[in-house]
Homo-oligomer: A and B are copies of this chain.
Amino acid sequence: MINNELSKHAVLSQWIKENIENNTFKIGEKIPSENELASRFMFSRQTVRQAIGTLVAEGILVREHGRGTYVSLPGKKASAEKAMRIGVITTYLDDYVFPSIIHGIEEILTDNGYTLSLGITHNRPSDEENCLIQIMQSGVDGLIVEGTKSALPNPNGRLYEQIKEKHLPIVFINGYYRGYNDSYIILDDVKAGEMLTDILIDNGHSLIGGIFKSDDLQGIGRYEGLLKSIKKNNLTVNDSSIIWYTTEDFSYFFEGRMDKIILDRLNGVTGVVCYNDLVAAALVRLLKRNGKSVPEDLSIVSVDNSFLAKHMVCNLTSIVYPGKKIGKKAAQLLLQHINHSQKPEHVILEPYVKIRDSVKKLP
């Protein structure tokens, strides 16, 4: 080569690439034959073969003896190669419910020869962005995602659209972004909130408070359930008895400095619906610090039925959070999407409650 320009085969392979991206050569369809390209570009057939050869090596084209050269399907290459992998992105891991979800996912995946890549977002959209980019770059066949801050508008919308463009199957758990018609698996949080509130009311409570997380759909849903139950039973709710917190201020809220404010806001209330066992445990400790006990001074109900619910000073009445079931279901659904690419499916699991002794029966 006398000049600094690209070699002929490089020019040709780039030209083919561009035509694929322009959708001139559509995926799965045949590109012009070697001889035609040779005569069209006035290159020798060997040079054309070299150009096509590099694209075949990259997995962009597929040669079929006697038939022609075709634009390869995006998923085809990975599945034809070796071990398949799917990405799992959760908000936390060292909280109590997540391991069971991952465990459920892992069980299904290994049974089907898949490996699991894990990312943790700490419920921060910026971390979610990093996780998505990293995991996608490393090449996965599908994603199971617990979205960050699912109650707020999706901050990584652009990324999720890119995923869709790549035809990468995705299943959301514990929440979903409104407006995207993706598969998701959630617990019926409204029902859960309603069931818990019903229990308090059935035990004679009429002034009911709540502590909820405001930045994910689960918190909103459980609060909605509380309202539903209150309305159904012709009671009213005092807005100041509903305490909202976000991911960022949880530890700040319950570490002692806010004790007075919280107790004041729950003043008069006899039963509290807690977002989850972690909140319930924090509330129990808060009450203990201030000389009060559960259920004598305050009844508490909660969601998750975790370690905490079983082993705390006062055993919590708690909605069973079927983490493993959700994980398994999510993995099964994703594998269906990968293998048969069917319509999005929305699974809403019915909650059921484990009654313990954190609710006092009022006369």
Seen from chain A, the residues whose Cβ lies within 8 Å of a Cβ on chain B are 53, 57, 82-85, 93-96, 98-100, 102-103, 106, 110, 113, 115-120, 127, 130-131, 134-135, 137-139, 281, 307-308, 311-313, 324
Partner of A100 from B83, B94, B117 at Cβ < 8 Å: B94
Known A-B contacts A93-B103, A100-B94, A103-B120; A82 and B138 likewise in contact (beta carbons under 8 Å): yes
Q: Assess the B110–A99 pair: CB atoms within 8 A.
A: no
A66: shortest Cβ distance to chain B, in Å? Answer: 14
A57 to B137, CA, bound (A): 20
Q: Assess the A110–B134 pair: CB atoms within 8 A.
A: yes
Protomer copies: 2
Enumerate chain B residues within 8 angstroms of A83, measured Cβ to Cβ.
134-135, 137-139
A115: shortest Cβ distance to chain B, in Å? Answer: 5
Known A-B contacts A106-B93, A313-B313; A85 and B138 likewise in contact (beta carbons under 8 Å): yes
Known A-B contacts A82-B137, A83-B134, A137-B83; A99 and B94 likewise in contact (beta carbons under 8 Å): yes
Q: Assess the A110–B119 pair: CB atoms within 8 A.
A: yes
A99 to B323, CA, bound (A): 15
Enumerate chain B residues within 8 angstroms of A53, measured Cβ to Cβ.
53
Closest B residue to A307 by beta carbon equals: B307
Q: Assess the A115–B135 pair: CB atoms within 8 A.
A: yes
Enumerate chain B residues within 8 angstroms of A100, measured Cβ to Cβ.
94
A213 to B314, CA, bound (A): 30
A100 to B93, CA, bound (A): 8
Q: Assess the A85–B117 pair: CB atoms within 8 A.
A: yes
Q: Assess the B119–A117 pair: CB atoms within 8 A.
A: no
Q: Assess the A102–B106 pair: CB atoms within 8 A.
A: no
A115 to B116, CA, bound (A): 10
From A100, A119, A324, residue with most partner B Cβ within 10 Å: A119
Enumerate chain B residues within 8 angstroms of A99, measured Cβ to Cβ.
93-95, 98-99
Known A-B contacts A93-B103, A308-B307, A311-B313; A117 and B120 likewise in contact (beta carbons under 8 Å): no
Q: Assess the A115–B94 pair: CB atoms within 8 A.
A: no
A195: shortest Cβ distance to chain B, in Å? Answer: 24
A-B contact pairs, 5 of them (CB 8 A): A84-B138, A85-B138, A94-B100, A113-B134, A118-B118
A312 to B102, CA, bound (A): 25
Enumerate chain B residues within 8 angstroms of A312, measured Cβ to Cβ.
311-312
From A82, A99, A281, residue with most partner B Cβ within 10 Å: A99
Extra pairs beyond A85-B138, A106-B118 (6, CB < 8 Å): A82-B137, A82-B138, A110-B130, A117-B117, A281-B311, A311-B312
Enumerate chain B residues within 8 angstroms of A106, measured Cβ to Cβ.
93, 118-120
Enumerate chain B residues within 8 angstroms of A57, measured Cβ to Cβ.
57
A204: shortest Cβ distance to chain B, in Å? Answer: 27
A196 to B139, CA, bound (A): 47
Partner of A102 from B82, B93, B307 at Cβ < 8 Å: B93
A210 to B95, CA, bound (A): 30
Enumerate chain B residues within 8 angstroms of A110, measured Cβ to Cβ.
119-120, 127, 130-131, 134
